[in-house]
Amino acid sequence: MDSQNTVVPIRIGSGHDRHRLVPGRPLILGGVTIPYEQGLDGHSDADVLLHAITDALLGALALGDIGEWFPNTDPQWAQAASDQFVLAAAKAVRERGWSIGNLDCTVHAERPKLSSFKAEIAARIAALLQIPRDQVSVKAKTGERVGPIGRGEAIDADVVVLLYREPSPT
Ligand code: MG
């Protein structure tokens, strides 16, 4: 039996990602380029927030993870804009009859300070997913100067997403 067609018509997904901060790369978070002296290292554009969103969308429907869908050994994803990962995951969600309810996102970065970028990032994500702006939350935290986040060595992102569908007629 396909449980996605039964029981309560909601699903929850979580996503987490981490990328190292290195010199000589742009810093892109949620599709927004943030002025900073370092950027995130990775095979694609290393947008840690869009990667976590992709994993949350895939996870909500038990569709695997971003590494299975877009292997970082595949040259076609080298320097790729991570928008396409989110769009592919959102398409997979919608093709299975699900709608995106809301996302709650947390970015963990000691520097740069992200408070002035949160609204723009949330608006960018809402536009990408074609959902209302008030269904996307973007929060920012520091690492309290301890650990890899606190020392400014990496940026993490955590995302929770809720999916819903109209109940099947009985
Ligand atoms: Mg990643």
> How far apart are the C-alpha atoms of 159 and 16, rounded to whole Å?
6
Can you give the pLDDT at residue 3? 61
Q: Is the pLDDT of residue 44 over 70?
A: yes
Q: Which two tokens stand for residue 168?
A: 């099947």
Q: Is the pLDDT of residue 167 over 80?
A: no
Query: Looking at residues 15-37, what average pLDDT do you find?
Result: 98
Whether residue 103 contacts residue 125, with contact meaning beta carbons closer than 8 Å, is answered with: yes
Q: Rounded to the nearest whole angstrom, what is the distance from the C-alpha of residue 46 to the centroid of ligand 1?
A: 6
Whether residue 52 contacts residue 19, with contact meaning beta carbons closer than 8 Å, is answered with: no
Q: Rounded to the nearest whole angstrom, what is the distance from the C-alpha of residue 153 to the centroid of ligand 1?
A: 15
Q: Which two tokens stand for residue 31?
A: 């599709």
pLDDT band at 32 (very low <50, low <70, confident <90, very high): very high
Q: Is the pLDDT of residue 2 over 70?
A: no
Residues with CB under 5 A from ligand 1 (ion): 17, 51
Q: 5-9, 77-81, 111-115, 161-165: lowest mean pLDDT where?
A: 5-9
Q: Is the pLDDT of residue 85 over 80?
A: yes
Q: Is the pLDDT of residue 169 over 80?
A: no
**CA distances for 166 relative to 5, 45, 103, angstroms:** 10, 36, 19
Query: Looking at residues 70-91, what average pLDDT do you find?
Result: 91
Q: Rounded to the nearest whole angstrom, what is the distance from the C-alpha of residue 113 to the centroid of ligand 1?
A: 21
Q: Rounded to the nearest whole angstrom, what is the distance from the C-alpha of residue 10 to the centroid of ligand 1?
A: 26
Q: Rounded to the nearest whole angstrom, what is the distance from the C-alpha of residue 18 to the centroid of ligand 1?
A: 6
**CA distances for 86 relative to 1, 27, 33, 95, 128, angstroms:** 28, 18, 17, 14, 8
| Mean pLDDT over each residue of the chain, to the nearest integer | 94
Q: Rounded to the nearest whole angstrom, what is the distance from the C-alpha of residue 144 to the centroid of ligand 1?
A: 23
Query: Looking at residues 122-141, what average pLDDT do you find?
Result: 98
